[in-house]
């Protein structure tokens, strides 16, 4: 900590430089957990350092992704629980990167707040580090911006940036997808980090009891259920890519099935899904009933219990399911690929 740096004038304007130093000190033990191959001498410099090992790569391509947590942060504020939204931030980025077949390498975060409370910032970063460990990705740097008058003193925003690597000939580009291929679903942990503007409106979370257990949610509270972190799929998907030819991957985020699944399907093909084959989580049933939301809107907004979809050859289905289940994923078949004579790339029997 720099004990010689302190500005009374800046502090009077609402920015405490020393709080920033303290936050960095509190972060260091968490960040150290994420270091895989780099050996930075210090944390808090002007740039994040990463040792790039290209062993085994013939034509490496870097793949990047960036995202935030969105209005799910409101749930963290209401629950006064800040050590899980960092997992969401990492997940939203690394889950996108692996859709190209890339292995996440490192991560950077950006936290903007109304008031820098070092212990709260360290709590947020602890969640980011948990996510990085799950993704086998190093947290090499970040930024905490104290912005009084712009954000309320007890609120913050959180975003991140991930970089991964893949050999050019292993990039997943859906060019080999064909009629008869099969779509496998990887279950989500809940709402993940999308659609929370609608979720908050339906449940009126600012004015309802979000902490009492609900039978419809298996005894969990609404707040606990909604704050459940986004699942990170890096390790099971990379394990699958090592052994099976994967023809397409979709991360099911905002826009649900209808927007995300078609992104991995080429023109002339479509995925056909039976609604009864989708293992819909209780939170989505409660959300639909409470908000009287049309079924198509549900599938066009939320993940409905499917956080990621993967397309493989029919003869590789059993092997794929076995690999994914060995890595903790209760994967199951959700649909198959058919020819399409229109621009429709997804058909669900709603």
Neighbours of 302 (CB within 10 A): 30
Give how far the C-alpha of residue 40 lies from the chain's centroid of Cα atoms, to the nearest Å. Answer: 26
Tell whether pTM > 0.85. yes
Residue 20's nearest CA partner among 7, 32, 29, 33 is 7
Structure tokens, 314: 């029919």
pLDDT tens profile 284-337: 999 999 999 999 999 999 999 999 999 999 999 999 999 999 999 999 999 999
Residue 94's nearest CA partner among 121, 64, 59 is 64
Structure tokens, 56: 């085994």
Q: Which residues contact 14 (CB under 8 A, 6 or more apart)?
A: 115, 146, 148, 149
Q: What is the mean pLDDT of the chain?
A: 92
pLDDT tens profile 144-194: 999 999 999 999 999 999 999 999 999 999 999 999 999 999 999 999 999
For 57, phi then psi, to 5°, come to: -100, 130
Residue 187's nearest CA partner among 329, 37, 3, 16 is 329
Predicted pLDDT of residue 2: 54
Predicted pLDDT of residue 33: 81
Cα distance between residue 291 and residue 9, in whole Å: 50
Residue tagged 């956080």 (tokens): 307
Structure tokens, 272: 């056909």
pLDDT tens profile 33-70: 877 766 555 555 778 888 899 999 999 999 999 999 99
Residue 68's nearest CA partner among 47, 46, 96 is 96
pLDDT tens profile 109-158: 999 999 999 999 999 999 999 999 999 999 998 999 999 999 999 999 99
Residue tagged 């209401």 (tokens): 78
pLDDT tens profile 78-114: 999 999 999 999 999 999 999 999 999 999 999 999 9
Provide the sign of the torsion angle of the four alpha carbons 182, 188, 193, 198, taken in this order.
positive
């Amino acid at each position: 900590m720099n004990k010689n740096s302190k500005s009374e004038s800046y502090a009077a304007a609402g920015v405490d430089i020393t709080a920033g130093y303290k936050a960095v000190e509190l972060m260091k033990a968490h960040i150290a957990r994420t270091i895989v191959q780099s050996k930075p001498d210090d944390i808090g410099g002007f740039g994040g350092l990463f040792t790039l090992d290209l062993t085994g790569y013939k034509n490496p391509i870097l793949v990047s992704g960036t995202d935030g947590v969105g209005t799910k942060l409101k749930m963290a504020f209401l629950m006064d629980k800040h050590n899980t939204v960092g997992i969401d931030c990492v997940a939203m980025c690394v889950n996108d990167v692996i859709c190209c077949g890339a292995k996440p390498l490192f991560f950077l975060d950006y936290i903007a707040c109304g008031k820098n409370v070092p212990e709260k910032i360290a709590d947020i970063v602890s969640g980011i580090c948990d996510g990085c460990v799950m993704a086998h990705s190093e947290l090499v740097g970040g930024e905490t911006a104290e912005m009084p008058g712009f954000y309320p003193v007890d609120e913050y925003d959180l975003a991140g940036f991930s970089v991964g690597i893949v050999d050019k000939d292993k990039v997943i580009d859906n060019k080999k997808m064909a009629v008869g291929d099969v779509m496998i679903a990887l279950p989500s942990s809940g709402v993940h980090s999308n659609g929370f503007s609608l979720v908050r409106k339906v449940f009126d979370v600012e004015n309802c009891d979000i902490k009492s257990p609900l039978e419809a949610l298996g005894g969990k509270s609404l707040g606990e259920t909604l704050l459940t972190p986004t699942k990170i799929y890096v390790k099971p998907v990379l394990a699958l890519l090592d052994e099976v030819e994967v023809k397409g991957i979709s991360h099911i985020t905002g826009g649900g099935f209808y927007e995300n699944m078609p992104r991995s399907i080429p023109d002339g093909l479509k995925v056909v899904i039976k609604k009864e084959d989708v293992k819909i989580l209780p939170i989505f049933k409660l959300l639909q009933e409470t908000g009287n939301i049309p079924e198509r809107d549900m599938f066009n907004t939320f993940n409905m219990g499917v956080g990621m979809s993967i397309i493989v050859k029919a003869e590789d289905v059993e092997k794929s399911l076995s690999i994914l289940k060995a890595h903790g994923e209760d994967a199951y078949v959700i649909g198959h690929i058919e020819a399409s004579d229109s621009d429709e790339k997804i058909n669900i029997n709603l």
